[in-house]
Amino acid sequence: MKITKLPQFTPEAAEFWATIPAEIKTQLLANVFCSHCNDVVKIVDYKAAMSGTNLVLNGCCAVCGNEVVRVIEGA
């Protein structure tokens, strides 16, 4: 399995991220709830780390720049 180098990802997070199909990744990144916008937005400038078996993306709302978090549950 080829693992893309992602500077903002921990090695474990990058490994997890690499197992997710590209179209699912796009959906995940484009469907993050922003409490400031009170709407579903796109996450930008994100970094990722593992929290137990879950992948946690920490980034900013593409609309207002508010901090948003996306948790992707692992197996």
Site residues (vs Zn ion, CB under 5 A): 34, 36-37, 61, 63-64, 66
Q: Minimum distance from CB of 68 to Zn ion (Å)?
A: 7
Q: Minimum distance from CB of 58 to Zn ion (Å)?
A: 14
Rounded Cα gap, residues 31 and 46, in angstroms:
13
Nearer to Zn ion, 25 or 36 (CB): 36
Alpha helix locations (H) across the chain? 11-18, 22-30
Joined together, the tokens standing for residue 41 give 């937005």
Nearer to Zn ion, 3 or 64 (CB): 64
